[in-house]
Structure 1
């Protein structure tokens, strides 16, 4: 029998989380239908990356002990399964910025390493799967999905996933039910939705593994501000991958992943009757 106690949850370790992230990424990549990568493009990008590293080595006068330490660390990143974590935390925000620069609709940001396909599908007004005693402030998240020309997008998919009040994601920490705080909601005929969930907590990315070694050696912090993850899609429109943040979080300004944008800040208000919060946010999609 699976242990779903909160004591089991807080025993999450970087190695387990990293291994799960790697497995999920490879499964999704295997099932993807993308085209082949142009060899000339690979040559240009790989060549520039290698040259940039060589330039740093020469400019910074890298020593052999430093070089060997780097090799050992790169090996450990792989052994810990933390390449998805490393790349998503420190590089993905730039990839996303380039990929979405042409858009006129809602802002996107990084997906991160904790997305999982196949979440339960729920109607436009519903409650995300959660434990009966799920900790955290109740949050009603409402809004509309529409096109840049204002057309409501009936039947739009709103995929939502987020950490719990302890900062852990289901399927990436022990003690958490499989689909806890993960679901796909289907907007109504007017593109509207109303999602009942709980406010997530800020959290530190896993620090027991190779990424934590880098963070400690560099004197950085490992914190991400509290956020909700979304993928918003509708046939004929570009999918939006984004995160929404809460005002007042001390790490909105220094998010380790560099993913916070002013346009992605929510404005939660107390719910009627004083039980929890209500946040309103509309998603605007660009045509393909």
Structure 2
């Protein structure tokens, strides 16, 4: 049965502002990703020098002027003021980090996390229906599958964290007027490693364009669109966490995603539900073991 949840914000999701969602993304990052690692002086020197030398090479090759330099400096300051560093890094850098980090895996392909993850979404037993408004717009979607190890062993009790935009392209906790956990949940697989999740199909959306990142997009003549997608984090004891985005066949932005995160293995092809409304799709997850 659909969990009906109300909103107390008098604004609507269409009132979302880049600076507001950017600050929220920055705060979430600081809450969820405090990483403290030991990095040698040699490693820091290697990476910092290569990045700075690459920047210097670009400046020299393209004869960057002082006015251009000052404009970029001001833009970098504004990215921080708008709280959009998580958006900038996730849209234009994370896909390369993800490729490098997961290149040795034998299980499912992954994808970027993106800036809109929120930890500790409500725990739901399978078959589950994500929290949503009573009048939630969109095409109903049954998303189901099985979670196994690379040798085919099923993983009972594995968890599927799922979150996605609504049918207008907005995320709860990053747009006003949406219930706190709208279209977010942590689904627990059954004793056979199976999960069933009832939700709605998300819409394609533009990354925020009224902030600093939007100014870069406009100045460079790019588009700001991401194809519709489901976000997932799939985990089980002894297995590596899989972070993924799953897309939908036929989306016009599969080939030119601004975040460069689409992979052929991540594209879903839902089919109509027999004798019922909406669509369904089966997608199985294969997790790699944690290295000893």
The two structures have a TM-score, normalised by structure 1, of: 0.97
CA distance in 2, matches of 1:55, 1:108: 33
Question: Aligned to 2:52, what secondary structure does the other structure show?
Answer: helix
1:137 aligns with 2:108: no
Q: Which residue of 1 aligns with 2:63?
A: 61
- 1:34-75 deviation line (CA, Å, top 9, x unaligned): 532333212111111111000000000000111111001000
1:3–1:174 Cα contact (<8 Å) kept = no
Write the mapping of 1:121-136 to structure 2, written as runs, cut at 5 A: 121-136=123-138
1:221 corresponds, among 217, 223, 232, to 223
Alignment length (residue pairs): 285
1:17 aligns with 2:21: yes
2:7–2:178 Cα contact (<8 Å) kept = no
1:14–1:208 Cα contact (<8 Å) kept = yes
Per the TM alignment, residue 274 of structure 1 is displaced from its structure 2 partner at its CA by: 4.1
1:90 corresponds, among 92, 110, 130, to 92
CA distance in 2, matches of 1:2, 1:267: 33
The two structures have a TM-score, normalised by structure 2, of: 0.95
Gaps of 5+ in 1: none
- 1:166 to 1:4, Cα distance in 2 relative to 1, 3 A: farther
Q: Which residue of 2 aligns with 1:255?
A: 257
Q: Which residue of 2 aligns with 1:264?
A: 266
- 1:63 to 1:3, Cα distance in 2 relative to 1, 3 A: same
Write the mapping of 1:205-220 to structure 2, written as runs, cut at 5 A: 205-220=207-222
1:114 aligns with 2:122: no
Gaps of 5+ in 2: 1-5
Q: Which residue of 1 aligns with 2:45?
A: 43
Q: Which residue of 1 aligns with 2:3?
A: none
CA RMSD of aligned residues (A): 1.2
Per the TM alignment, residue 201 of structure 1 is displaced from its structure 2 partner at its CA by: 0.2
CA distance in 2, matches of 1:122, 1:225: 27
1:199 corresponds, among 187, 198, 201, to 201
Runs of 4+ deviating beyond 3 Å: 1-5
Question: Aligned to 2:172, what secondary structure does the other structure show?
Answer: coil
Question: Aligned to 1:10, what secondary structure does the other structure show?
Answer: helix
CA distance in 2, matches of 1:142, 1:287: 22
2:18–2:211 Cα contact (<8 Å) kept = yes
CA distance in 2, matches of 1:146, 1:83: 36
Question: Aligned to 1:132, what secondary structure does the other structure show?
Answer: coil
CA distance in 2, matches of 1:243, 1:23: 22
Q: Which residue of 2 aligns with 1:79?
A: 81
